[in-house]
Amino acid sequence: MSVLVVGGAGYIGSHTVYELIHRGKDVVIVDNLQTGFKELIHPDAKFYQGDLRDKSFLHEVFEKENIEGVIHFAANSLVGVSMKEPLEYFNNNVYGMIVLLEVMKEHNVKYIVFSSTAATYGEPERIPIEETDATVPTNPYGETKLTMEKIMKWCEVAYGMHYVALRYFNACGAHPNGKIGELHDPETHLIPLILLILQVPLGKREAISVFGTDYDTKDGTCIRDYIHVCDLADAHIRAMEYLQIENRSQIINLGNGEGYSVLEIINAAKDVTGKDIKVELCGRRAGDPAKLIANNQKALEVLGWKPEYTDVHEIIQTAWNFYIQR
């Protein structure tokens, strides 16, 4: 039996694949390589290149492979782009989920772990955010993920398909082996943007853009809950094991439970690399909440999960090691 990892050539997906194989599991990857990279694919995984929305392609994968459960990472995920191209995001994310669930139903695959997002909450009612808090997304990306969660809920009612939706915050860091890490084209995430800029000689370095300095936070910049990618991989695997034992669906937050501002991350990167970082202060970016921090108690209670990487300097060090080895 194999675990199908949809989006397994992407950042978090590839780390989950590496950990699954490390734990002795057979893994099948489906990825269209729109945002994934061949270099992140584990050599021992079976890889099928194709689009999740292509039902005949997906049927073929399920017919060839003996799949026991699905871990679903494949989605467009840029908040700013989603504000400009909402139809593209609903087509790729929501329709892709519908096709996947249809094929799972037809092949009697009952378990799915879904990579959701803290963006489902929108501007939170309180900090830290709990799973029972209101979900009012402030951007189409978050709305698509919330819609996908609701589709899974009704598939459970109708077809007995069980799911765990993991709502997490800012993924970061890289595998300690240095072979895989965070790659996006174009890169938009804060930590890799900083580290990529630092690889350019000092006189040619661009400034790192800080979007918004007038938020109601300690230094005026956005605060996020940064969580190491290997901790996320562990949580997804624990969620699949939980489903196979308990047959019960859950929505669970993942995070460190601590928040760091954009400026604090920049200063931590300076400490780790010993390099200076130029900063450009910009206006707010559409759809960005001021503060997102998770209450991760349910993850501990239900999955027995707690993050191993809790120091932001250690997290940034793993990412820096990946970039300087490339």
In what helix (H) or strand (E) does residue 64 lie, and over which residues does it extend? helix 55-64
Angstrom distance (rounded) from CA 88 to CA 239: 29
Question: Is the CB of residue 155 less than 8 Å from the CB of residue 262?
Answer: no
Contacts of 43 (CB under 8 A, 6+ apart): none
Whether the per-residue pLDDT at 12 is higher than 90: the answer is yes
Whether the per-residue pLDDT at 202 is higher than 60: the answer is no
Whether the per-residue pLDDT at 112 is higher than 90: the answer is yes
Considering only CA atoms, which of 264, 295, 290 is closest in space to residue 279? 264
Extract the runs of DSSP E, i.e. beta strands, from 81-129. 111-115
AA letter at 98: I
> What's this model's pTM, rounded to 2 decimal places?
0.94
**Residues 138-156, mean pLDDT to the nearest whole number:** 97
By mean pLDDT, which of 45-54, 102-111, 203-212, 233-242 is the weakest? 203-212
pLDDT range class, residue 324, cuts 50, 70, 90 = confident
Domains of the chain (ranges; CATH) run: 2-172+227-254 (3.40.50.720)
What per-residue confidence (pLDDT) applies to 200?
Answer: 67
Tens digits of residue pLDDT in 233-290: 999 999 999 999 999 999 999 999 989 999 999 999 999 999 888 899 999 987 677 8
Mean of the per-residue pLDDT values for the chain? Answer: 94
| Active-site position among 18, 89, 121, 141 | 141
Active site residue 141: yes
pLDDT range class, residue 221, cuts 50, 70, 90 = very high
Contacts of 288 (CB under 8 A, 6+ apart): 79, 138, 211, 212, 222
pLDDT range class, residue 205, cuts 50, 70, 90 = low
Whether the per-residue pLDDT at 212 is higher than 90: the answer is yes
Which tokens sit at 257?
């439970």
pLDDT range class, residue 155, cuts 50, 70, 90 = very high
**Residues 46-70, mean pLDDT to the nearest whole number:** 98
Crossing angle, helix 190-198 and helix 262-273, to 10 degrees?
A: 40
Extract the runs of DSSP E, i.e. beta strands, from 21-103. 26-31, 46-49, 67-72
**Residues 83-91, mean pLDDT to the nearest whole number:** 97
**Residues 48-59, mean pLDDT to the nearest whole number:** 98
Query: Which residue shows structure tokens 């519908």?
Result: 98
Q: Considering the chain, what percentage of its residues have pLDDT values greater than 70?
A: 98
